Amino acid sequence: MLKKFIVSNYKNFKDEISLDFSKIGEYSFNADSLSIRLIYGRNATGKTNFGRALLNIKSLLCGMQSSGLINEDGAAKFKYEFKFGSDEVTYKYSRFANTELCDEELYINGEAIFKCDFKNSKFDFQGLSIISAETVNTNRYLNKDEMDNEYVLPFLRWLINNTAFSDDSVLIRLSKYVRKMCMITVGNDLFYSYRNFLENLKNQVHLQNFEDFLNLMGIECKLVLQELPDGQVELYFSQSKLVPFYSTASSGTLALTSLYQKIVSNCSLIYIDDFAAFYHYEMAEKLISFFKTKYPKCQLIMTSHNTNLMTNKIMRPDCLFILSSRGTLTALCDATERELREGHNLEKMYIRGEFEKYE
């Protein structure tokens, strides 16, 4: 799981900003909220940018296109701290642009595995023996054909793809975790490619689970999947007649569907930008409760303007954060001199300006 993420000089975050899952307060209530972080911030504070920065590692290790441009004024710096079982993994790098890697370092349990300084062509692979990869042919990686001037292949990505690690290797676990990280941006993610999802719903159990999910969210419906003459399948609401699902569903239902598709793909971490933008606050609460119950191992980060969710009823002060226009991220328990307790009405405190200093 991700323990801590730090980024600096990325878009509007010139100074270092971090999110630490391991920093928790001494609260005895809502312990099932510890894998969830809810971030509040006014418009243009960088909530979307923070999510894109967090997912930058996926573009690096999985060869996916990076979202958004990185600052041209110096390199953007990224640092990720993970924990897999008893192993602590630290991976850090800096990039001058979306495809230009400046440096890269990997540490496991505090020991350096490798260090790459691409700009000065300095490489240290002496720690590869720690992960039983001392026989890997690093000269092949450093070959001119591998290291051209237009694109620098991340060594960690190359190492994972060119070494026969066991399935329980910490690097394989890291790779699987990163591949299962995802970001959902409400508005841009409503009309996703849904054909694979419909194919999955051919299984009656999966179709029933999706129907149960929508009903649990307050959308009373009966779903039917039918095969068309061209062999494709289509989803319908079953009413007095069949009504096409995707052309008639509300934007809120489509947002729920998009979210559900991500959920059932067994994600390791989901960053939901502008969470609850299409949801009534009661449905948003139900969604959070659904995550807690069904997916306790999935780390969930949400951004929102919905202050109804700023409550100890479903969350807790060390899991609620304020993102400021200055690029700081502060937990509510650290944004006041009071000792916040379960009985405090966090929403009222927020509205009357208790945490205004950190906005």
Q: What is the pLDDT of residues 13-42, one digit of tens each?
A: 999 999 999 999 999 999 999 999 999 998
pLDDT at 144: 56
For 21, residues 6+ apart whose C-beta sits below 8 A from its C-beta are: 1, 2, 3, 4, 34, 35, 37, 299
Query: Residue 135 class from Cβ within 10 Å (0-12 exposed, 13-18 middle, 19+ buried)?
Result: exposed
Q: What is the mean pLDDT of the chain?
A: 90
Strands 320-323 and 223-227: unpaired
Taking the C-alpha atoms of residue 332 and residue 40, their distance in angstroms, rounded to an integer, is 10
- Say which residues have a Cβ less than 8 Å from residue 284's Cβ, sequence separation at least 6: 275, 276, 304, 306, 308, 309
* 180 class by beta-carbon count within 10 Å (0-12 exposed, 13-18 middle, 19+ buried): middle
Q: Is 60 exceeded by the pLDDT of residue 47?
A: yes
Measured CA to CA, the distance from residue 282 to residue 39 in angstroms comes to 18
Q: Which of 182, 207, 240 is the last residue of a domain?
A: 182
Whether 148 shows a pLDDT value over 80: the answer reads: no
CATH code: domain of residue 234: 3.40.50
For the cut 60, the answer to whether the pLDDT of residue 68 exceeds it is no
| Number of residues written out for the chain | 359
Contact of 180 with 295, CB cutoff 8 Å: no
- For residue 289, tell me if it sits in a domain: yes
Residue 172 sits in the same domain as residue 229: no
Work out the burial of residue 6: count CB atoms within 10 Å of its CB; fewer than 13 is exposed, 13-18 middle, 19 or more buried. Answer: middle
* Mean pLDDT calculated for residue range 125-152: 82
Residue 279's pLDDT band (cuts 50, 70, 90): confident
Q: Do 178 and 103 fall within a single domain?
A: yes
pLDDT at site 336: 95
Residues 199 and 277 in one domain: yes
pLDDT mean over 112-118:
97
Q: How many angstroms separate the Cα of 267 from the Cα of each of 12, 25, 238?
A: 28, 26, 30
- 173-189 per-position pLDDT tens digit: 999 999 999 998 765 55
Let me know if residue 221 belongs to a domain: yes
Residue 34 lies in a domain: no
Domain that holds residue 10: 2-25+46-182
Rounded to 5 degrees, what are φ and ψ at 204?
-60, -35
Q: Is position 287 within any domain?
A: yes
Query: What's the CA gap between 47 and 255, in Å, rounded?
Result: 19
pLDDT at 190: 47
Same domain, 97 and 243: no
Residues 210 and 297 in one domain: yes
Phi-psi bin for 201: left (phi > 0), alpha (psi -120 to 50), beta?
alpha
pLDDT at residue 231, as a whole number: 86
pLDDT in tens, 205-242: 999 999 999 999 989 999 999 999 988 899 999 999 99
Number of domains in the chain: 2
Q: Is the residue at 121 inside a domain? A: yes
Same domain, 310 and 230: yes
One domain for residues 126 and 15: yes
Do 328 and 189 have their domain in common?
yes
Is 310 part of any domain? yes
Q: Name the one residue in this structure whose structure tokens are 């066991």.
A: 166
Q: Is the pLDDT of residue 160 over 60?
A: yes
Residue 324 lies in a domain: yes
Determine the pLDDT at residue 158. Answer: 95
Query: Do 169 and 195 lie in a common domain?
Result: no
Beta strands in the chain (DSSP E): 2-8, 17-20, 36-41, 76-84, 87-97, 100-108, 111-117, 122-124, 181-185, 223-227, 233-238, 242-244, 269-273, 299-304, 320-323, 329-331
Looking at residue 66, its pLDDT comes to 60
Total Cβ atoms within 10 A of residue 224: 15
| pLDDT at residue 260 is higher than 90 | no
**6 residue type, one letter:** I
Assess whether 124 and 158 both reside in one domain.
Answer: yes
Judgement on whether residues 61 and 138 belong to the same structural domain of the protein: yes
217 in a structural domain: yes
Three-state SS across 249-264? Answer: CCHHHHHHHHHHHHHH
Torsion of CA 290, 291, 293, 297, to 10 degrees: 170
Residue 208 sits in the same domain as residue 294 = yes
**Residue 122 and residue 220: Cα distance in Å, rounded?**
61
Mean pLDDT of 180-203: 76
121, 147, 182 — which closes off a domain?
A: 182
Task: Give percent of the chain above pLDDT 70.
Answer: 92
Last residue of a domain, one of 148, 182, 216: 182
